[in-house]
Structure formats: C-alpha cells, structure tokens
Copies of this chain bind each other. A is one copy, B any other.
Amino acid sequence: MARWIWKFGEFEIYHNLLLHNRRTQYGWPSPPVWKVYSPDSCVRFTREISGRGGTIRVWARGEFAVTVWQGRRKTEYGGQHEIPLGDGPMRLSVTVSNRESFPCLYVEGGVESDESWLADDLAGSPAPADSCAWFDAPDKAPDVFPFACEPIRYVKKEPVEGGVLFDFGRETFARTHFRFSGVGDYALRFGESREEAMSAQWCVIRREVKGAAGADYDAQAFRYIFSSDAAAEVSAEYEYLPVTYRGAFRCDEAVINDVWDVAAYTFHLNSREFFLDGIKRDRWVWSGDAYQSLFVNRYLFFDRDIERRTLIALAGKPPFEAHINGIVDYTFYWMIGLYEYYETYGDLDLLRRLFPQARRIMAFCRGRVDPDGFVRGRERDWVFIDWAPMDRTGALCGEQVLFSRALQSYGNICALLGEDSEGAAAQADALQKAVLASFWDAEKGAFVDSYESGKRFVSRHSNILACLFLPMDEARRQSLYEHAILNDDVPQITTPYFKFYENLVHCEMGSGEGLEASIREYYGAMLKLGATTLYEQFDPTQSGAEHYAMYGHPFEKSLCHAWSCSPIYLLGRYRAGVKRTGVAYETFEVAPKLGDLKSFDCTVPLPKGQVRVRMDEGGVTVCATAPGGALLLGGSRYELEPGKEISVPSR
C-alpha cells in the first residue's frame, strides 16, 4: 500500500514552520520568538530492490530525478513519471528538490513508496523514511495538512457603531468569507469577546480590506466579528483536526459535566497540527503546555499521532543551541514527555528515530551544568516554571527537580535502545540527593525555591514539582504537602497550568476530595460568566472585561487555552481511576473513587479499546474491551476480562 514518504521529521518541521509564521497581532505579522527550523530543500530517497522492479509511476512535491543503479551501472531517468524498471537486484534512488514546501515522494506500481525506503539529506546517514496513513494517494500529499471543515453560522447579527457585529454563539476556529456592500475599504475585527471585537484600538486579530467587495481568510479564532460595513455578510467554516472523541464523562452534577464538555471542545480547538497553547494569538507550540496536553489527550482522544507530531516538532533540528521555546524547564518537559510517550504507546520506533536529537538535547543541557551539579539560567535562557512570584536567585529548586527527571527519562530511553547514556541515571541520582541536601528546609518542612539567596522562600511550585518528580521518603512528602500545599500562607497558584499539577498532588496524596470543588469554583465560575471555552487564567474577583486582560493589554488573555483542560485528565484518572501500569497499557488498573460526586459514568480510551467505569453510592460497574486490566476496590483486586462487565456493590 503506497504512501507519501518524506525524510523523518520534515513533515512536522514544515507544518511547524507554517504554524509559527501565522501569528498576527494588532494588524501586524508577529514573527516567531524562538528558532523555527526549515525543511531540507533536497532529499534523496533510496530503495534496494531484489526481485522484479516492474513499472513504477512517480509523483513528488518538487523537482525530482530518478536514478537506477545496477551494480556500478547507472541509468538516469530524470523527472520521468512512468519508468520501466526491469529486473533486480538494483538500487532505486529518487532525489527530490523542493524549496516551496518540503521534498516528499509517492511511488506506485512494481515498487511502492513506504517506510521501507531510506531517506537522507545528502550529508547525514540514510534512515527510514516516515509516512502517515492520511497520505495514501497521489493527490493526497503531505504539504497540505488535512483538516476537516464544516459550515457554521452566526447566531446573531447586530448593527452597532455604524457597522455590524456577528456573534457565532461560541468560540470557534474558522475560515471566513465576507461580501461587502460594494468595493471599498473596510475594517474587520475578530474578537474572542464582544468587547474585543468592538475595540478598534485593542482587538488583537484584525484585517484591513482595501478596495475590495469581498475577502476570504484562513481559519482563525473568534466568537464575534465586527465589520465596519453595516451591510456585510459573512459565511464561515469551522476547521478542525478529524479525531475521535474516545473518552467520555457524565456525572450527577451539571456544572461538572459542562466543564468536561467545554474542556473537551477547548482541547479539540487547540489540537491541530500539534498541541497549541491557545488558538487566538500565539497559536504556537510551547513544550510545557504541550506536556500537559499529553495527559489530557490520553483521556480524551488517545491520538498517538498528534503526540508524535508535537514531540518531533519541538525537538527541532541540529544544531541544538537554545532551550526549546527558549525556556529551560520546557526542554526538560520535552524529555520527560518523550519517555512517557513511549510508556503510553510502546512506540520504540519513535524513540529510535528521535534519539540522535534527544542525545544532542541532553548534551546541550548537561553542557550547561555548573560545577556544583545544578543548572542555572544562562544568558538568553528563560527560567519560567510559571507566571508566579518565586525566589529565582541562582539555582531554582523546580529546575533541578525537572532536570533530574529529564536525566532519568533520558537514561531510561538509552537503556531501551541499548545506547550509552554516559551516566545519566547516576547523574540524576546525584542531583536528586543534592536537591534534598540543598533545598530542603527542615524548619519549614518544605523545599525552598533558592538556597543561595538566604530568603528561604517557600513556593507551591517548587514543592509541587518535587512531590511529583523527586524520589523521597513518605514522611518528607507528607511534610511538604502539609507545609507548602495545604498551607494557606503560601501564595496560591493562579494559573490553570500549575493548578493542574497542584490538583495532581492533591489526588496523589490521597486527599483529592477537593477536586470537584476546585472544578466547580474555578471552571464553573468561568462558565457562569459566559465562557464557551476555557480561559488561560481566571480570577473570580475580577469583573466584566477585566477578565480579558493579560500581558499588560486589555484583550491579550487567551479565552481558549489548552492548559485549562486538565479536568478531563483528572476525572478519568482519579474518579474513574484508570491508570496505565504496564508499557502501552499491557496492564492497567481501575481504582474508581466517587469523590464529591454521587455518581459518574466515565469512558477512558485504551490503545485497542476502552474501559467504561460507572459508579454510584451503590457500587461500581466496570467493563474493558481490551485485556490487561484489574479493578482495585476496597482492598480487593478483580481481574477484568475483555468485554465482560464486572459489578461490585458497595459494602
């Protein structure tokens, strides 16, 4: 079965390049702020043929030249479409050159293009070509990303300030087509909120139409559109990644169901070529944000391919000279995420393909360690962790914790591939010990952000990361939980980004009873104010358009942000209680918990099937369609048989 093939990584590099060049703000293009790589302009595809070659038909994106080697005899076919190859053995070589998109190839006939072909850039070593099931016909080439599309209509049209305001009822990401009253100059403003669309000064996404009677735009984010032409008409098509909703959740509480639905929609909007941060302004791929999306995806779409694409795009190309997104912690999340990706899907092939770059990335990180073994931000490094006050003096606790976990992940990857990790596991171990020795404040019973400043500042962030990623004894873990996480004197988390990790800690530390309350109070309040997707950040004490301000501007907050979608993960993981225990879910456990709910009915995807968990005060019913599962309930363990429902009444 022939497929379009390309040099591994180039599909992602190309679409990542397009994506990062699409951002605009206030009517101006807004170029990337980190290095975005370009595809190679020329790739050579080769295939050894032992038997009959037959006749082949060749398609490529770009110019191509076909050469056949029979021993040292070389026959050149140039860019001929149909070629009678004759009998093997022979080596078929097709060089494709393409500066517009990226070199890719489709061959059908006696020999077909697939991952048995090798590809190289005429300098590095040939490696298996990559492909994707989507691109399986000459006219389905990978330089056009195959989004799905469906017409949507505005629900309200309102004459206002001499123009007209369209309201599409909820946030969307859609292609738009405008017809105006005649040829003229018009202003269009796309707002996530009504206020934004009405703000001539601060609306982030806007277009100027010059001397035209109509205009068509690629998909962008909006709920409202203001047109300065009062007689304008607009049609739109929602553009989305075709993906199956494999997870589901319903419980007895409407607001939690609503949050789940809105989270699912928000997450879908942000799941495109890759996992985006938000759909309005950046629409970029941020590694720390994407890391959280991995969690959500596994309880909603279980779409391996988008995780794979995202990890490849973030890895970039050699030389690796700056942290991913310029952020120290984001490089670490990438490495941690790559190993967890393997654990989730058992995809050793991707580890193998990405290993050369993973090695470069780890060498870069290890090359920036200070003599005491700690990483500190160097020139042009962004030490982020979160939008929150922290004592960032010198070595920051959270960075060491993430670095040690990244080292451990890298060590695990090397072990799987039989590669030399150059002592990554030992370095991780030493670093973990050093963190305990340097950052633990016995008096405060928690980790401090910095041991160098002498300020002994305790943040939730350092302690949350330590709790999640740092091995330690239970007494210490309980201590930090009490003194840092349950301690109201420690400043609260304000972003859903770290709220997720905090909730994880609460759930893991056995006191996840506040999960529903947290969802209700934070996301429920957001929905009550009319949110149709989940915001980047939310402060219930604000009112009106205050909610839309961020980064020093009135409408720069993203009202549709991926990092806010964690309830999908948290409910599936800690209410349905589904947890992968073996690689690729060879084994998994179901340990359901009602929490603050009266009943729920939750479906969690598995690689080849799903597990449905229903629970109410009367008991639990579980059914998995794939093997390997066990129900853990009240101290008992029940093996799950595929397709067979198990019901356990409450005691």
Q: Which residues of A contact B (CB under 8 A)?
A: 17, 21, 25-36, 38-42, 63-65, 78-80, 95-97, 99, 121-124, 318-319, 321-322, 326
Contacts and interface: CB of A to CB of B under 8 A. Distances in A.
Contacts of A65: 28-31
A29 to B, nearest CB: 4
Number of chain copies forming the complex: 2
A514 to B, nearest CB: 38
Nearest to A320: B123
Given A21-B41, A29-B63, A124-B321, 19 more contacts: A17-B99, A21-B63, A21-B97, A21-B99, A25-B78, A29-B78, A29-B79, A31-B42, A32-B95, A32-B97, A34-B123, A35-B40, A35-B122, A36-B41, A38-B38, A38-B41, A38-B99, A122-B322, A124-B322
Nearest to A553: B76
Contacts of A95: 31-33
Q: Which of A31, A39, A123, A318 has the most CB of B within 10 A?
A: A31
A32 B78 contact: no
A463 B124 CA distance: 33
B319 A319 contact: yes
Contacts of A97: 21, 29, 31-32
A31 B121 contact: no
Nearest to A29: B63
A123 B322 contact: yes
Contact of A318 (B29, B78, B318): B318
A31 B96 contact: yes
Contact of A27 (B27, B31, B78): B78
Nearest to A25: B78
A211 to B, nearest CB: 20
19 contacts: A21-B63, A25-B78, A28-B78, A28-B79, A29-B63, A29-B65, A29-B79, A30-B65, A30-B78, A31-B42, A31-B63, A31-B64, A31-B96, A32-B95, A35-B122, A36-B41, A122-B326, A123-B321, A124-B322
Contacts of A79: 28-29
Contacts of A33: 95, 122
A423 to B, nearest CB: 22
B122 A32 contact: yes
Contacts of A27: 78
A106 B25 CA distance: 23
A31 B78 CA distance: 9
A316 to B, nearest CB: 8
A33 B123 CA distance: 10
A30 to B, nearest CB: 6
Contacts of A123: 34-35, 321-322
A321 B79 CA distance: 28
Contacts of A17: 41, 99
Contact of A78 (B21, B26, B38, B121): B26
A624 to B, nearest CB: 46
A319 B360 CA distance: 11
A124 B321 CA distance: 6
A208 to B, nearest CB: 12
Q: Which 7 A-B pairs have CB atoms at the shortest separation, nearest pair first?
A: A28-B78, A35-B123, A29-B63, A31-B97, A123-B322, A28-B79, A123-B321
Nearest to A43: B31
A344 to B, nearest CB: 29
A63 to B, nearest CB: 4
A592 to B, nearest CB: 47
Contacts of A30: 65, 78
A319 B34 CA distance: 19
